[in-house]
Structure 1
Amino acid sequence: MLSRAFGTGLAAIAALAASPVVANPADNHRTIAATPPMGWNPFNAFRLNYDESTVMAAAEALVQLGLKDDGYRYVNIDDGWWLRRDAGGITIRTNLYPSARLPDGTTSLKPFVDRLHAMGLKAGIYTDIGYNICSQRWEKATANLPEGNRGQREVGSLGHQLEDARAFSAWGFDLVKVDACGIADFGADLPEVMDGTYRPLGPIMLRERPGASDIARVEKLYADFAAALRKARPANPLLLSICAWGDADVNNWAGSYGQMSRTSSDINASWGAMLHNFDSAAVRPLFAGPGHWNDPDMLEVGNGDFDGNHLTEARAHMSLWAMIAAPLVLGFDLTRASPDILAVVRNRDVIAIDQDPAGNQGVIIAQQGDGQIIAKALATRGHKALAFVNRGDGRLHLSVPLADLNLSAQGVHLRDLWHGRQGTLRDGVVSVDLAPRETALLRIEARPIEAKVSVPADMPARIHVTEAGYLPPDRITRNQWVPARIGFLPSGTPITFAGRQETASIGVGAGAHLMVDLRGEFRRLSLAPEHVATDAYVIKVDGKAVPHGPLRNEALDLDLKGARQLELIAPAAKGEGASFIWHNLRFERQ
């Protein structure tokens, strides 16, 4: 059980790191990626061993198999499309993309993109934020590496942001994925740098070492690229997919510039890798919402541990991505799609959970051993998705009281989205028995116990971390330190009271700033900042500070009538205290 006293002994104030200021994603161009993007990418199935015909075959399969109508519309090419960079820009590798060869001797991907658009699909392209690209470091055996002298082989965007943004826009692309190998993997000690093959750069970003990374410079590089996209095509800029693998505190600033942000290293088709990537995004519901999505990487459904011989795992993988509102990007060979795998990725009830217009990411409400329970509030009040997850190799029984979801046990409609069965509900408790590696995904429709009350777990997409506050030096992806979490301290310690996890509470780093989009829809808020004699915290309603004194076991009751915005600013670190809890936030609607 977690004490309610301020100060959790997580680190001394001497370890206080610089805290980035994060722009409010609500101010971002939300019309781009209002729901998580869906589509297909060749890399998981083919690595770099594909060409234009491979991509067009997949595009045709998206249409013919009905996947386009299910929402899978982005067709994204990956690394390997370029031949070299010349004075006039990038020359395309026409042996792979023959339609790029124009009569005047120049090259353009516009004919390729036009074909995709004519099929009712969208097109995505790939680049890197540095001078060089991932394949030059990690795919050395491919025949499709850039050619020419050192300068010509520098096909990454650094120094060419606006030039490349204008080319991608002119070619008609709808999305650009911007990788980060160029600023992480070409340091002076790399043999290919030492022998002059590549120009040295940094590393500016060190993998799993944010304290040693030049975070401000990494952020600026992506900010500059986002600005170039807006300048190149102001009325309809490309969707920006930031691929910095969860490093350089990317989740604290990515929502200011891009619509997708990778939270981890590349996925592979193994159960362990899938869980690792899921975990990297699942702990960050306060960093996602319409126009800015956590991206745990492409789906491996159809491959390896998730192929037609492993349908339990395939359904689990699809369920978990849907619960955390992840982009659904297929990565298997669509021309060899089995009916069973198609049934997994075409389950429209599951897709609807991912694409729910409220944009809430699911919140972990309970976890013990190999068992995990995740709840996701849907756009219709009283409608929720509930995932019971067995991460292990033994059978498992999990249950949750409906009261923990603020739902009445009367008149409940409960449906299993994979098997169509009615779930087990007894004495107000939902229970499931799970096979090894199984995830049960349920949709619940019920009457809220408190009809007009919402807690943070009901509205994570409305809550934004605008300043991260305390950041420990060991905040690497594996440690999963998150500046703000519903129901947990940033360290991952559950916030509990009377034996139950508090999904109405938010744990934050000391000094963190939260902003809540109220939109004039609430009349009052009750909350209990940590029950201690401190008045160092700040609460603002529409920019005006709310007067208060030290709290000693009493709650605050705030008038929110007509208010558009609420700010919650935690006290700065004091002594050994590195975190703060906003207890029992209860928003009452008009």
Structure 2
Amino acid sequence: MRNRIEISITLLLMWSILHTSCLSGKPEPEETKEEPMEVKVAQTPPMGWNSFDSYGVYLHEEAAMANLEAFAEKLKPHGYEYFVIDAGWFGEFKLKEGTMYPAEKHALTLNFNEYGLLQPSQTYFPNGLQPIIDRCHELGLKFGIHLMRGIPRAAVEANTKVKGTQYHAQDIADTTSICSWNPQNYGIDMSKPGAQEFYNSLIDQMAEWGVDFLKYDDLVPYPKEVEAIANAIEQSGRPIVYSLSPGGNVDANAINSFKRANMLRVTPDIWDDQKGLDECFAAWRKWQGHEEPGFWIDMDMIPFGQLQLMSPKPNGIDGDESKGEIEKKIKDGELEDIELLAGKGWTRHSKFTKDQMYTFITLRALSASPLMMGGDLPTLDDFSLELITNKDVIECNQNGVMGSLVYEDDGIEIWNTPKKEGTGGWIGIFNRSDVSKMTSLSMADLKLGNTEDYAIIHDIWNNKQVNDLNFEINPNGVIFLEYEY
């Protein structure tokens, strides 16, 4: 009986203490919170739209909203999800009088806050980026944005504070490290106190805005900053796809640093010409086999449709001149008042032939390169839309296997992408020459084994079953096959 009384008194005392604590406003002991589950991003090659091919670094609010709505209507039903605004969104550009067209290649004046963090341009985004970000999420899409490595040079001159620290911009900037093609920023010396904290503060701002995708430029040659930004993304707590640029001469020895990101650009900027296609094939050879879920080899955007809409062709220009030829004409006084803007060339529809377009999108499918459309979406032509939303292209691409070269002879290349799960796969027979080719191939050439080992071969672009391996392939054209065992 005594034991029961002692237990009752103990329970009464515990209840009294708890009740008094509640009445006095003292907090109850905190419950142990479970760590949030890690969200693994980019398990398949990301699919989306990037504004650079169509708007350079001059995308403005009206065009952004129009492309976002067109994205939701035309691309989202096919699995595209990332809407990415490229560089320039922070620039207070000088404009040609009475227009939205830029009068300078890169803005001399940048909008940044007291911590050196970039803010939306009042010139091109007078209502800020938040309405676009919010609308993107309302539509069930994900929002992406472009950043340049480092810290604005103007912020270093102003010696802005590094948020949450005792350090300033001049304490962390590497003033000897300046991008050769966009001098707006200094690099950051990651050995300096406050350097990581700056990147943390910048990525925290991106996370607060609701950014889901970061395209980070002028970064590939700087593995320490690649890793610093990866650390900043991880500490932010927001799942963000991390894309590295630029491509071109990429050091394969830094692959471990690159794999802290989700996409690695391995080509220069790719435009609507054969040179760009050739650069993609060269990169494919070098990087085949480096892909894995969460890390993809990126061959830049898809330059289909209307391009360079903010760069109308000036008087005195044919449109086919090289940059060097135009610079010479300006120097010689033949051309006046012309600013060579970001991107390549002037306002135009993609100059790819249909065969080049078939080759381009087949290459992207077989190589598992992220599908990032570059052309203007509201004005996109039907043929371009059919190619980028083709179900076989998307299925092959999202299979997530970078195909390998299995045959090469007399300008003909055969690339094979097996299915990751199950049997079968896809074949691309590319004519890399400028003349038509007649080919007569064997199963051994396709590396598919004996005839009895397969059930069917389907010609995707001609939509028919293949009964033999004799093909005529147009110049720079392709035969795209799916095979099943």
* Same fold by TM-score greater than 0.5: yes
TM-score (norm 2): 0.68
Distance 2:202 2:470 in 1: 53
Q: 1:255 to 1:412 in 2, by over 3 A?
A: farther
Q: 1:307 to 1:282 in 2, by over 3 A?
A: same
Residue deviations 1:506-543, cap 9 Å, x none?
A: xxxxxxxxxxxxxxxxxxxxxxxxxxxxxxxxxxxxxx
TM-superposed deviation, 1:132 = 5.1
Which structure 2 residues correspond to residues 121-200 of structure 1 after superposition, within 5 A? 121-131=141-151, 158=188, 159=195, 160-180=198-218
The one-letter code of the counterpart of 2:144 is: G
Conservation of the 8 A alpha-carbon contact between 1:242 and 1:254: no
Conservation of the 8 A alpha-carbon contact between 2:458 and 2:465: yes
Return 5+ residue gaps in structure 2 as ranges: 1-37, 91-109, 161-182, 189-194, 308-347
Distance 2:63 2:306 in 1: 17
Per the alignment, in what secondary structure is the counterpart of residue 67 of structure 2? helix
Residue deviations 1:206-261, cap 9 Å, x none?
A: xxxxxxxxxxxx2111011101000012xx43111011414351562354211100
Distance 2:201 2:150 in 1: 14
Distance 1:418 1:261 in 2: 29
Per the alignment, in what secondary structure is the counterpart of residue 40 of structure 2? coil
Which structure 2 residues correspond to residues 233-312 of structure 1 after superposition, within 5 A? 233=237, 236-250=238-252, 252-302=255-305, 307=350, 310-312=353-355
What residue number does 2:447 align with? 405
Residue 382 (structure 2) aligned to one of 325, 336, 339: 339
What residue number does 2:457 align with? 414
Per the alignment, in what secondary structure is the counterpart of residue 280 of structure 2? helix
What residue number does 1:220 align with? 224
Conservation of the 8 A alpha-carbon contact between 2:392 and 2:460: yes
The one-letter code of the counterpart of 1:335 is: P
TM-superposed deviation, 1:80 = 0.5
Conservation of the 8 A alpha-carbon contact between 2:273 and 2:352: no
Bigger helix fraction: 2
The one-letter code of the counterpart of 1:35 is: T
Distance 2:230 2:54 in 1: 29
Distance 1:110 1:49 in 2: 18
TM-superposed deviation, 1:301 = 2.5
Matched, 1:440 2:462: no
TM-superposed deviation, 1:431 = 3.5
Matched, 1:363 2:404: yes
Residue 44 (structure 2) aligned to one of 35, 42, 45: 35
The one-letter code of the counterpart of 2:71 is: L
The one-letter code of the counterpart of 1:313 is: Q
Distance 1:309 1:226 in 2: 36
Distance 1:432 1:132 in 2: 55
Distance 2:123 2:242 in 1: 28
Residue deviations 1:300-333, cap 9 Å, x none?
A: 1236898487222111110001110000000111
The one-letter code of the counterpart of 1:170 is: E
What residue number does 1:85 align with? 112
Residue 394 (structure 2) aligned to one of 351, 363, 372: 351
Return 5+ residue gaps in structure 1 as ranges: 1-28, 101-108, 134-145, 184-204, 206-217, 447-590
TM-superposed deviation, 1:156 = 6.8
Q: 1:350 to 1:248 in 2, by over 3 A?
A: closer
Q: 1:75 to 1:399 in 2, by over 3 A?
A: farther
Distance 2:402 2:57 in 1: 32
What residue number does 1:326 align with? 369
Q: Per chain length, whose mean CA-contact separation is higher, i.e. which structure has more relative contact order (CA < 8 Å, sep 6+)?
A: 1
Conservation of the 8 A alpha-carbon contact between 2:305 and 2:379: no
Distance 1:280 1:171 in 2: 35
Conservation of the 8 A alpha-carbon contact between 2:365 and 2:397: yes
Q: 1:157 to 1:91 in 2, by over 3 A?
A: farther
The one-letter code of the counterpart of 1:405 is: K
Residue deviations 1:443-465, cap 9 Å, x none?
A: 0002xxxxxxxxxxxxxxxxxxx
Conservation of the 8 A alpha-carbon contact between 1:308 and 1:341: no
Per the alignment, in what secondary structure is the counterpart of residue 176 of structure 1? strand
The one-letter code of the counterpart of 2:240 is: L
CA root-mean-square deviation:
2.7
Distance 1:307 1:416 in 2: 26
TM-score (norm 1): 0.56
Matched, 1:57 2:66: yes
Larger radius of gyration: 2
Conservation of the 8 A alpha-carbon contact between 2:59 and 2:85: no
Residue deviations 1:457-515, cap 9 Å, x none?
A: xxxxxxxxxxxxxxxxxxxxxxxxxxxxxxxxxxxxxxxxxxxxxxxxxxxxxxxxxxx
TM-superposed deviation, 1:112 = 2.3
Per the alignment, in what secondary structure is the counterpart of residue 81 of structure 1? coil
What residue number does 2:104 align with? none
Per the alignment, in what secondary structure is the counterpart of residue 483 of structure 2? strand
What residue number does 1:521 align with? none
Distance 1:273 1:285 in 2: 18
Conservation of the 8 A alpha-carbon contact between 2:364 and 2:371: yes
Q: 1:130 to 1:398 in 2, by over 3 A?
A: farther
Q: Percent identity?
A: 25
Residue deviations 1:417-465, cap 9 Å, x none?
A: 112022242xxxx33220111111100002xxxxxxxxxxxxxxxxxxx
Which structure 2 residues correspond to residues 433-512 of structure 1 after superposition, within 5 A? 433-446=472-485
The one-letter code of the counterpart of 1:409 is: T
Distance 1:311 1:150 in 2: 52
Per the alignment, in what secondary structure is the counterpart of residue 92 of structure 1? coil
Q: 1:292 to 1:222 in 2, by over 3 A?
A: same
